Structure 1
Amino acid sequence: MRRTFLTRLRINGSYYVLGGLLLLLGAPLYQWLWLLPQGYGEALTAASRGQFADYVLWLHLHVWSFALYRLLQMVAFALTLSLPFTLFRIIVAQEVLGRDEEEAGATTGEEASPAAEEGAADGPGAAVAASDKPLPQTAEELLAVPWRGKGFAVIAAWAGMLGILLLVLGNLASTVYQVGVARTFTAEMVLTPSFALVAGICTLVSTTAGGLLLALATLLFGFIIVRSGLQLWPPLWVALGYVAMLLALFLTGSAVQVALSPASGQAFLTTPAFLLFACWTLWLGLILVRLRPSPAS
């Protein structure tokens, strides 16, 4: 049962590594090597100036290239959809282990077992494997215990999942709509004002609403980890918590900037925020992939 939990963490970690690499390298390289030489940068500049006809005309000429670029982004975010609840389970498991060690130390006055110490050094997943008590394996089991279903962790988990879901669905709706309009658009046609309105709403849903929810999740996750600090978490996880709080600032700034100008599709902080999210996701994924069960498990 404990090995199954650890194996699930490693499998999820591989998804986050792949998603982080797609966001950090796959989509940017595709944009830089393929889209920009075809005039994508000029099309975005035209859209930011309100010249949406020029932007849609470019889409008409490169519709499938644009669709593939958006697909890479959506797949990358979709691969991280389970990340908030995975991190939630890790936090709960680590706190359970910490409480068990405190109770054991208070009642016996003995030091923690070597297996538990080695698990804590390797990371929360390994520490979970070293615990004597079987831990919950699903979100439903975690939420069935009252104190585990309350507080910052569960808010962060739901906010993070909804935020990523809005990022995927908002991008999907935007892509389908823009591709549908661009396929039949020609230079002789007049673009209706509704294009900017619909595109702006899709951007507000994905980058603003989704970004704010994701910012809330990363802020709370970071706060929970940093609050316990080295007393409960290895140094690598504490550093991950601080980066999560920094990421929340970037995501919030991007969401606010986009809200002030939704028709442009993105803002100055949008690219740095998503690149930092990709690095943070990749970092977490690598930690989970490298987890190993302790010899005592």
Structure 2
Amino acid sequence: MPPTSNPTLRQRRLGIELRKLRERAGFTATGAAELLGVTQARVSMVETGRTPVSADRVRSMARAYDCTDERLVEALAGMTGRRVRGWWEEYREHVPDALVDLAELEHHACALRVALVIHIPALLQTTDYARSLFREVVPPMRQYEIEYRLTHRIKRQGVLHREKPPSYTAIIHEAALRMGFGGSAVTRGQLKHLIDMSELPHVTVRVIPFGSGHFPTTGQSFDYAEGPVAQLDTVQLDSQHEACEFLDAEAQLGKYRAVLDRMDSCALSDAESLGFIHRCSQEL
């Protein structure tokens, strides 16, 4: 398979996980190449996602690295093959690469959990609300840039409406409900949409009110995408510099799982949250 100069997030992650297996086994890239009967350059290309790798090759590499976790190995084998051109690739020249990667991450996720303090989650935003956010970006975006961002965001939301959607849990602080982006009419429409979306069987919305007394986070929004096995989970941190940060180290994943669990314990119940959102809407 020919190498690629622009690997997808999924290809890069597969390479990272293969490198982790090699390093746990105590092999250098050179030693692994000798063991596998390939060049050191080939090993490096695979581990950076620049060379596609077959499912059989992944299994043989896992055996060589003494990996006995069959669920992990099969999950990695499922990430192989040629690059699949998803709808998000159409936007690679029009939005930051990190947003293209985020759409790909959401597409392949088995479950999504998000935590937000200032904004409504992107996958639950109305068109008017999203547009109002893009108009507040500093420095200002040109109108055509706003439209590209907007259509990209709306297409991302399709993951919640497909035939077999991932489960989606949004933990939202009261501040996000009351910020009033776009004015009262836009906010009212957004809160109604939030209630409507929460009626979907796979969507859960939980609210942390100001008076909860606990808040185990620094206020940074983040997404937690669950993979087919816990080792393939991914955390995406929002950035003010248009470059989302993706985390996959075991300690990092454990930290953000714990943060989400603590935030969930601080939040109102599902029914209480919906009632709270409704009251916020009535107060506008």
Name the larger-Rg structure: 1
Do the two structures share a fold, i.e. TM-score over 0.5? Answer: no
TM-score, normalising length: structure 2: 0.28
Higher RCO, 1 or 2 (CA under 8 Å, sep at least 6)? 1
